[in-house]
Every structure is written in C-alpha cells, then in structure tokens.
Structure 1
C-alpha cells in the first residue's frame, strides 16, 4: 500500500514537473479514493481549466492579431491619405495665394485700362466738339463761297456794264473804289478759308489731296483777287488818263471772272463733300464715345467682380493654410496611432508566442500522423459529395453528425460557403453551432484559395483538448471552388 502511494506521488511529481515546464498534453491517470486520488483529480481539473484559458487566450489573441493587422493596414492607408491630403491642401493654399496675386495684377491692368478708356472718352468729347465746330466752319465757308460766286458774277456783270458805260466811268470811280475794297476784304477772307481748308485736307490724308488742290487754287485765286483789287485801285487813280486801257482790262477781267465763277462752283461742291465727310466723322466720334462709355462701365463692373473674387480667394487661402496645419497635426496623430497599433501587434505576437510555447510541447507521433491521413480522406469524401450546397440544412447536419459517429477522432465538421458563412456544422456532444463569418481565418483563406490546410496543434475551446484543424476546398464538376469543408481532429 505504501509502495503504491509512493508510486502515485512520484507520478504526480513527474507530471506536475512537466506541467510546470509548459507541457499541458499530459494528465494524471490515478484512480484512487484517497486524498492522493482527490488531489490528482483536482490537478487534472486545474489542467483542463488552464487548457481552456490558454485556448481562449489563443483565440482572442488570434483575433487581436488579425484586427491589429487590419488596423495597421488601415492606419497606414489613412496616414498616406492624410499625407496626400496635407500635400494637396498645401498646394491649394499656394495656388490660392498665386491666384490672388494674379487677380491683383489683373485689377492693376483693368485700372490702367479704365484710365485709358476715360482718356479716350475725354478725347472723343474734345474731338466731337472740334468736329461740330468744323462742320459749322465748313458750312459757313460754303455760304461765303456762295457769296463769292455771287460777287464774282456781279463783278463780271459790272465789268460788262463798265465796258459799255466807259463814258460814265469817272462818275462811277467812287463806286468802283468801294467795290474794290470789298473785293480785297473778300480775297483776304477767301485766302484764310483756303488756308483752313488746306489744313483740314492735310488732316484727311490721302482722301483730302483733291480738296487740297482746290483749296490751293482758291488761295491763289484769293491772292490774284487781291492783286486785281490793287490794280483796280491803280486803275481808278489813273482812270481819267487810261480810260481805253481800263476798258480793255475790264474785258479781260470779265473773262477771268467767268473762270473764277466756275472754279467757285467746283469749290462749293467740294465743300459740300467736306461737310458730308465731316458729319460722318462726327457720327463716328459719337459712336466711339458711346462705346468708350460702355467699356468704362464694363471695366468698372469687372473691377468690382475682381475685388469680390480677391476677397474670397484671400479667405480661401487662409482657410487652406489653416486646413493644411490641421491636416499636418492630424497626420502626426495618425502616425502616433500607427506606431501604437504596431506596438499592439508586437505585444499580441509576444502573447501568441507564449501561448504557442504550450502547444509546441505536443509531439506528432506516427499514430497522430495516421489519424490526420484518415481525417483527410473523410474530408475529401465530404468535399466531393454531389451538390452539397443544394442540400437543406437538416439533411446536411445529419450527414455531418453521422460522419462524426463513424470517425470518433473528429470533434467538429462543418461546410462553409465561398463568403465564409457556415452552411452546416456538427459538434461532438452538442446540437448548437456557430454561424459567425470565418472568412478571415487561415483555414478558410488557404482552402478557398485551392490549397489543403493543416494547422499546428492547438487547444480546443469546446473540449479543452489538443486538436488539429484540417480544411479542403469544395469544387464543382467544372473545377470552380464554391466553399470549403473543415474538420477539427482530436489528438487526445
């Protein structure tokens, strides 16, 4: 009896020593009603609780690792996006500043334009005034020409009468003197008008050359008339002694007067054309003035719009700069979060390494390898069942439960669709089954990719025993992967 107790104690010491080294695959096989047997049972119960705890920690930590990886990817994406946004906002701020500077330059240009238009408007007003005066002057000149023609005609008539009334010439000397003075005055006025007409013709350019010739002839005529008036005065002084010569000269002057009348008529017609052209010019100046006033108003409106845009652009630039600063702060915060997530992932990995230290104690012997090969055959049989996803849930459950009965080494069998959702699940010892999405789990990702999956040994949350997960893809006759079949194999 004492030997048996000593043996049980040695077994307990050896087993607890292995447990203390992290080997949770063992247990105490002591059947006794003594205190030692009760202690062994308590140790086994504690071992199961430790397995359960490690299994829960392993599962939770696996989720934490996956979550940390997703967070790391998302945080990195957010960081990159924040950096891009910050750069974009900085560019926008710079462009807004440049745009505002460009608007200010445009405003300077439009201000200069407005000043130029105002100068044009003022010049148009002055030109309009000058044009109106020119029209009045030309019209007055036309009236003078009419008077000149009339006078020349009278002179011609008077010359004819003088030739007939030579005998009474002395009596008309005083009258001729008055006429001569009047002719002199007319010649001077005609000369002045011809000079003005020459100036206006020069302003008209090429189109005024013809009129310039006429104006020059008129000026010459005026000079000749002045000379003739001087001659007449001389003739009047010597009329008493030179009556015959005067008669002859009067006849000659009469012939010239007819020529002057014709020239005056031509000049009158040219003046009419000048009036028409001047009135057209005046109308064009009116149009220029109206357009200048309209442009000045438009430039004023443009300046007002530029002022409003400039104010808005300044606000936009200020806002962009504030947003850029805020985004830089946000980017720095994201970087801190990113680093924290990395640290969390590393800590989770450390926990996972600790947990894996317990399950690595399990040794895969030949018996275990044989069980794995048998399990693969069962899973292959399930995966090749025709139209397995078309079977109703109750039939699928019955099918999987029957497979577990036939193959007692299975703790769990389930078929999962391509989205990661279990379609049917049989668990040994319970009718309940989980319907959580498992698309993130390695056994799903590898099998749905067309590969066979065999996990490392782990502690089952259901039975608190060591298990291995096996999964295979489920394919259609055409070879399309439509889901997976998963089995948890109990190792002992």
Structure 2
C-alpha cells in the first residue's frame, strides 16, 4: 500500500514503511506497478522481478484517501493446477484483503489526526507563516513523527528565515558601504589614471623638451666651438692690431716731430718774408727819392735848356748837355717808376706770402695740435686694443671652458633624456595598470550595485513572510 505521493504505507520491508517511495525502488517493474497503482484505476499487472520470477499483481485504488493498494504473488503459485492451493490462495487473498481493509481503516483513523496537523503545518509553510504555534501532535507513530518533523522543519525554516533576514539587512548595509567605497575607489582610480595620463603626457613633453634642449645645446655647443675659434682669431687679430697700433704710435710720434720741424721752418720762412717785405718798403722809399731826384733833374735840365736858348750860340753846347740830362732824368724817372711798380708788386706778393705763411703757420700749428691729440688718441687706442686683446683672451678661455661645460651638459641632458624616456615608459605601464584597475573597480562597483539590488529584493521577499 502506498500514499498518494507514492510513499510506502504497508510493505513486507518494514524499513521502507513511511520512509521510501515506490518510485525510488531499484526494480523498474515495481516502479511501473507504482505508476499503475497511483493512476486511480484497478487492474492486473504481470511482470518479471529482478530475480527472474514471473509475478502477478492485483491493484485497486482507495478512493477515500487517494492511496493505492496491490497484492503481488508468484504466477506459478497462483496458477497451480491444484485446486486446493487455488482455493487456499483465494481464501488467503480474501482474508488478507479483509484484514488489510480493516487495518487500513484503523490506520486511517489513527493517521488522520497527524495528517491533519501535518496539512496545517504545510499550509502555514506554504503561506509563509513561520510564527511559533502550540503543538497539536498526539500520535507517536510514523505519521506523528512525520508531522512533528514537518513542524520542526517549519520552525527551522523560520529560524533560517530570521537569520537570512538579519543577514540580508547586514548584506544590504555592507553592499551600500561597498558601493560607496567602490565609487570612491573608482573616482580615486579615475583621478589616479588621469594623473598618470597627465604625468605620461608631461613626461613625453619633458622628453620632447629635453630632446629639443639637447638639439639646441648641440647647436649651441657647435656655435660655442665656432665662437671659440673666432675668439682665438680675434685675439690674434687683437694682438696684431695692438702691434700695428704701437707701430702707428711710433710713426705718429715721428710725424709729430716732422710737423714741429715744419712749423719751425714755416715760422722762420714767415720771419724772412716779413723781413723781405720790410726791405721792399725801404727800397720803395729809395725809389721814391730817386723819382724825386729825377723829377728835379728833369726840371733843372728844362731850366738849363731855357737858359741855353737865351744864351744863343754860346749856350748851344750847354743846351745839348741839358737835353741829355733831361733824357737821362726821364729815363731815370721811367726806371724809377718801373722799379716802383716792381717794388709795389713785390710788396703785394710779399704781403700775400706773409699772409700765406702766417696762415700756413697757423694750419701747421693746428695740425700739430691735431697730430698731438691724435697721438694721445693712438696711445689710448693702443691701451684699449691691448685691454681688448686681453679680454678677448679671457673670453676665448671662457668660451673654451664653456665648450667643455657644454659637452658635460650634453652628457647630463642625454642622461635626463634616458631617464625621461624610462619614466614615460613606466608612466605608460602604470597608466595601463591603473586603467585596468579602474575597469576592475567599475566591475566591482557594478557588482556591488547588483548585490545591493539583490539584497533589497531579498529583504522585500523576506518581508512577505511572517516571522
């Protein structure tokens, strides 16, 4: 006999009663018999058991309880030709049927109370009512134990649901904290990622700047080398210029001496010409005296001619002499006039010469002063050139040192470039790792959101139960 769920109620194996279902039997033919018993129909089922024996089963439903009952016998025994055996078997079957029916009625009457309690517990369990209620189980048989087990199961489920409720509240709070923490971590990771990206970009820009600086330093170093060569050449030219300036100073000093001698000669010539002018003036005075004498002689000759004419024949010879004297006086007068003209022209020329000599003397004096000033300037130029030459030497030395420093700076820049390149690579690696971490944090954040939603849904579901 089995219940409507297929659980054995009556079975030759006492260990299977109320503990095992017919659908769980290891013999497939018994499972098939159980399906026919629970189908609600009556009939006969023939089969071969797992030992190889031919069996026959008569099954009938119990309408009141929904249970199924079957009587199983060996076909050889059931269909023996001996009628007595058949009668005995029929009688036994009938007796068994009666006894079983009576046992069923008794069992049903005893079992109904635990079953009712068990049904109530099941209904409460299905309704989600896990509140504690007083026990109404009075039977100590298997059904009573089953009802008590169902009640204990409901109480156990109640305790579990309470724990789950508390845990869900803690889980929801933890999920919210985790969500907030992951959001903060995500923001921090994003900020770190952005900072790393900025660092990578800054490092790349620094690397480019270092490369540009290195190129500029190399160009500057080349320029310094060129300037150093030009400074050396300038120093050499400065030394040559100083030497030329010193030679020019010496030549200028010689020129100053010659100019001074020219000035002295010019002054002496001016004095001579001035004296010549004075002598010409004296000669002019003498010529004027000669001209006066000639005029008087001419006048005396004229008077003598007049007196000779008065004397007649006696005065003819005297007239000739007077005429010759007149002619000589006129010639003297003409010569005196010519001499006067010459003296006048000579005086003019002498005056011009004196003026020219004086002007030349002034120009020579001014030129002398200029040359003397030029000499001072040359000395200053020599000093400046020598100073500049020394400074150019210092500049050349400084530029040479600068070139050496430039080489050293280039070495440091190369080191900085290598370090910046490595830093850029490390920054890119850290940036990639930070991006992966940000992605992981976002996944954790999404998971925490889902967990928080699941916790809220779990709380909503648990709130439907009565604890």
Q: TM-score, normalised by structure 2?
A: 0.48
Q: Which has the higher helix share?
A: 2
What TM-score, normalized by structure 1, do the two folds share?
0.46
